[in-house]
Amino acid sequence: MNRLLLNKIILILSTLSAFVGIGFLFWILVTLTYKGVASLQLTTFTHDLVEGGIRNLLVGQFTMAGIATLVTVPLGVMAGIYLREYGNATRVTSIIRNLSDIMTSAPSIVIGVFVFAFLVEPFGTFNGWAGAASLGIMMLPIIISTTDNMLALVPKELREAGIALGGSKHKIILQIVLQAAKVGVTTGILLSFARIIGETAPLLFTSSNNQFFTMDMNSQFPSLTVSIYNLATYPDEASRNLAWAASFVLTAIVLFINLVGRFVTRSKHL
């Protein structure tokens, strides 16, 4: 009887905790949607920040995230392949995996300070390259871990079949193993991109912000997340409304990317 009672108590507490968490999340989303949609206008997307819009901010945010993705994805996938296919469970691979796990959970502001010391302070100015570098550092361990884990799910028999057909190791990895795990790897890339697209702390120390439209990566670069942070602290109502509109747009983008990632995982492949 005591065990049954304890089980019911834990079940009730767990259910209440779930409803409380979902309730707060629903409250946040409803408030954000209500105030964000009410503040949206056509000029929000056609004007730059200096004119009361977010066009330059969207371009700047996606430019830095895009550069980070182009550089980080090949490095992360190759590192994951090395850990799973070439590392042979050595001490070095164990250390790399542990470091990757640590970097995945590292506070983003710490990464921002690190990049600031190497790519901002020596040049005497905030710049878009530093912002892209900080986002790339955040993205890299996620891709490494995802690739490593997805390749581990590929059956050993597929590798053996490739060897039996006379394929070289790199061809077996690229044409058989990686193809079998491509859905899982792609999902990891999408989810890592969804994470960095909404980051603020590292960009505060690296790219800062720019009210004007610019593609000059050597100077302060427009950032949607940093602008939301700044606009929310301004005393005038117009700035706060723009912050709500930008927050809603950013949330919708992140939600869309996550939904695409979830949809991809429903494939019959790994």
**For residue 131, what are the domain limits?**
55-154+183-264
Residue 161 in any domain: the answer is no
Residue 240 in any domain: the answer is yes
Going by C-beta distance under 8 Å and a sequence separation of 6 or more, which residues neighbour residue 226?
200, 203, 204, 207, 208, 209
Tokens 């891709």 sit at which residue?
143
Q: Per residue of the chain (270 residues), what is the pLDDT tens digit?
A: 578 888 888 899 999 999 999 999 899 999 999 999 999 988 999 999 999 999 999 999 999 999 999 999 999 999 999 998 888 777 888 888 888 888 888 889 999 999 999 999 999 899 999 999 999 999 999 999 999 999 999 888 888 888 888 888 888 888 888 888 888 898 889 889 988 998 999 999 999 999 999 999 999 999 999 999 999 888 889 999 999 999 999 999 988 988 887 777 675 544
Q: What does the pLDDT read at residue 1?
A: 57
Distance, in Å, from the CA atom of 28 to the CA atom of 232, rounded to the nearest integer, reads 16
First to last CA, the chain: 44
Distance, in Å, from the CA atom of 194 to the CA atom of 189, rounded to the nearest integer, reads 9
Distance, in Å, from the CA atom of 73 to the CA atom of 79, rounded to the nearest integer, reads 10
Q: How many CB atoms lie within 10 A of CB 70?
A: 11
Q: What does the pLDDT read at residue 268?
A: 52
Q: What does the pLDDT read at residue 223?
A: 94
Residue 11 in any domain: the answer is no
Q: Residue 148 maps to which CATH number? A: 1.10.3720.10
Residue 210 in any domain: the answer is yes
Residue 168 in any domain: the answer is no
Residue 6 in any domain: the answer is no
Q: What does the pLDDT read at residue 3?
A: 80
Contact 139, 193 (CB under 8 A): yes
Long-range contacts of 57-62 (CB under 8 A, 24+ apart): 57/222, 57/223, 57/224, 57/227, 57/246, 58/224, 58/249, 59/213, 59/215, 59/222, 60/128, 60/207, 60/210, 60/214, 60/221, 60/222, 60/223, 60/224, 61/197, 61/222, 61/223, 61/224, 61/225, 62/197
Q: What does the pLDDT read at residue 204?
A: 92
Q: How many domains does the chain have?
A: 1
Residue 242 in any domain: the answer is yes
Residue 45 in any domain: the answer is no
Q: Record the pTM.
A: 0.89
